[in-house]
A and B are shown apart, each in its own frame.
Chain A
Amino acid sequence: MTLWLLVRRSLRQHLLSTLVTALAIALAGGLLMSVWAVKRQAHDTFTGQTGGWDAVLGARGSKLQLVLNAVFHLEASPGNVPWADYLDIGSNRAVSLAVPLAVGDNYRGYRLVGTTTNYFTQSEYAPGKKFAVVAGGRCFEDGYREALFGSFAAQRLGLKVGDEFHPYHGLNFDPNAQHQEIYVVVGILEPSNTPADRVVWIPLAGLQNMSGHDPTTAADVSAVLVKLRSPVAGKTLELLYNRQGNRLTFAWPIAEQVAYLFDRFGWFDQVLTLVAWLVALVATGSVLASIYNSMSARRRDLAILRALGARRSTVFGAIVLEAAAIAVLGMAVSYVFYFSVVAVVAAVIRAQTGVVLDPFAWDPVLLWAPAAMVALSAAAGIVPAIKAYGTNVAEGLSPES
């Protein structure tokens, strides 16, 4: 009770420096937790984001590029896959579903992907979850210039069922590269929190035969999404396409390719984490400086406490506890910064990739980071506490001139 009373009163007596220091702790703690949680959640979400598919078959090239192109709708396609190869893998006994994708156009920066309707009717983007169309709309029909919009793309473009638009050539929006064809919006997908939300889906043939495209490759596809009957089959197909063949690439398993991407940028994670820890150290250093600089003003109070019978260990403990209390105050506020930062980052990631992070998802960092910050601050408090420990009582009690 005594220590707590001493700490409370001291915090109040040095209110301004208490608030400023606690704010520094809040910012540093919020940053540390944000970096950690975003890093972990992004890794888990992206590597878990297979769209319900086991593998991607594409032109010979990078597996990662294939996955990014076909699953995340990022990057360019490494090349084309002849129609015969699509039919071939589709008829393989190890494959339960194969869906072709064709890319190459956009509408105002949102990628047009040509596919078949079984992408929506037969596949599950997550266990037990199938794509659904918002009431009042429907899926496109093969042979028609119809488009089904992902929820995020529809919202950002402000389009609704019945609206018409001209696609643009290329994956990046160029106002001068407008196609002549007119497509009509026939449906909008319910949000799936997957990259599919950022896509404008049209019939495969529509994209293959878009004006200006090379008619000699009109029957080709950009990639084939593959669902296996058994995970073991992936090894056989990988052997078949990647080792024995030299025309195509079979990217399997999808999660491993994304994990590889994160591994390649592991150094960046480490730099971010290091910066966050350095900021945390600077903030706890400010606790040290704040209390240490006030020690001269506290000299008399400490001497009085000692004259009343307080032991050296008591005043030492009071200073360490005060440093820890400042960190507790700061870390309480740090959650506000944490949720704000993660919410902004999640919005950016969603806009760029369609992958949704949850700012309110539980992460162990929400527990251990505050504990670490409080422990660091308490450790920083040891320096001024040593000064308090060595207070000369007789000198401290002398009337100040």
Chain B
Amino acid sequence: MPLLEITDLRKAFTAPDGTAHEVVRIPRFEMEARAQVALSGPSGTGKTTFLHLIAGILAPDSGKLVLDGVEMSGLAEPARDRLRATSIGYIFQTFNLLQGFTALENVLLGMSFGPGADRSRAEALLRRVGLGDRLDHFPRQLSTGQQQRIAVARALANRPKLVLADEPTGNLDAANAREALALIRGACAEDGAALLLVSHDPGVLASFDRHASLAEINEASRSPSTVLRSPSA
């Protein structure tokens, strides 16, 4: 059974003028456990929306999304929050670290919404990403690359089944990008987590055995201005 199974997933947003624009229409998408998949696509092809749907941050309008045997599309928001906290790790392009919290606290907070804060594991994870001597540093006191490492440690903190990475190297220089990518892939492999990474960097995409264009998967991205409903409809 696949780890992630998506069938006829649809999501539309309503513009300020009242028109509904379909952003995601994915007839089928699957990922096996421990798989590492890269998706490419220019801006506006619904990459982030797609990842938010998988993470349960957004609820689909229709379709089926099954993660590790649980049909997320049918869950209420609190249950999706819980599933996200326990089964999904999320690495953002802008890292989205909490600036008022130390590196260790950022990881511990990620844990606290899942199985519970485990200080020794949080410290071990930060040591593993090379920040063992920066546990009490605040994000602003660290370099961009180091902040990305905290984000990686936080994403892996709850032993997720699936790690979602949204342009994780987009804010890094070439050397840091290579290092970060290796770290993310290696850490996921070691922890047995599947990785679904979205990037527009050809170098990053080329390093994956399995990569695809989001345009191929997302039918809505081929006609991103699809209007489902006019204001008067």
Contact = CB atoms under 8 A, between A and B. Distances in A.
A172 B94 CA distance: 80
Given A1-B112, A2-B117, A399-B93, A309 B86 contact: yes
A300 B81 CA distance: 17
Interface stretch (B50-58, B202-210, B217-225): B50-58
B52 A309 contact: no
B77 interface: yes
B61 to A, nearest CB: 14
B98 interface: yes
Contacts of B52: 393-394
Interface string B39-79: 00000000011001001011000000000000000000110
A311 B100 contact: no
Nearest to A398: B48
A312 B96 contact: no
B58 A5 contact: no
Contacts of B110: 308-309
A40 interface: no
Contacts of B108: 5
A301 B82 contact: no
Interface string A218-235: 000000000000000000
Nearest to A13: B100
A306 interface: yes
Interface in A23-78: none
A2 B81 CA distance: 16
Contacts of A308: 84-85, 90, 109-110, 113, 154
B93 A393 contact: no
Contacts of A394: 48-49, 52, 57-58
A159 B90 CA distance: 83
B94 to A, nearest CB: 5
Contacts of A343: none
Contact of B96 (A13, A309, A311, A397): A397
Contacts of A6: 109
Interface string A294-328: 00000011011111111111100000000000000
A162 to B, nearest CB: 71
B15 to A, nearest CB: 14
Contacts of A213: none
A2 B109 contact: yes
A304 B96 contact: yes
B162 to A, nearest CB: 14
Given A301-B98, A399-B93, A1 B117 contact: yes
A5 B113 contact: no
- Chain A interface size, as a band, is 20 to 34
B100 A301 contact: yes
Nearest to B154: A308
Contacts of A300: 96
A134 to B, nearest CB: 63
A314 B92 CA distance: 22
Given A10-B100, A301-B100, A393-B57, A309 B93 contact: no
A10 B98 CA distance: 11
A12 interface: yes
A309 B58 CA distance: 13
Contacts of A10: 100
A364 B105 CA distance: 41
B84 A309 contact: yes
A9 interface: yes
B227 to A, nearest CB: 21
Contacts of B99: 301
A314 B98 contact: no
Contacts of A305: 98, 109, 113
B100 A309 contact: no
Given A309-B86, A309-B114, A310-B81, A397 B109 contact: no
Interface in A371-401: 393-394, 397, 399
A399 B98 contact: no
Nearest to B113: A309
Contact of B112 (A2, A12, A13, A399): A2
Interface in A336-373: none
Given A5-B109, A9-B100, A309 B81 contact: yes
Given A301-B100, A305-B109, A311-B78, A399 B94 contact: yes
Nearest to B80: A309
Interface string A240-268: 00000000000000000000000000000
Contacts of B100: 9-10, 12-13, 301
A312 B76 CA distance: 12
A310 B92 contact: no
A113 to B, nearest CB: 68
A301 B101 CA distance: 11
Given A301-B100, A309-B84, A312-B78, 8 more contacts: A5-B109, A9-B100, A12-B100, A301-B98, A304-B98, A306-B57, A394-B49, A397-B57
26 contacts: A1-B112, A5-B109, A300-B96, A301-B98, A303-B96, A304-B97, A305-B98, A305-B109, A306-B57, A307-B55, A308-B84, A308-B154, A309-B82, A309-B85, A309-B86, A309-B110, A309-B114, A310-B85, A311-B82, A311-B113, A312-B77, A314-B113, A394-B52, A394-B57, A399-B93, A399-B94
Interface of B: 48-49, 52, 55, 57-58, 77-78, 81-82, 84-86, 90, 92-94, 96-101, 105, 108-110, 112-114, 117, 154
Query: Top 9 A-B pairs ranked by shortest CB distance?
Result: A309-B85, A309-B113, A2-B112, A13-B100, A9-B100, A304-B96, A393-B57, A311-B81, A309-B84
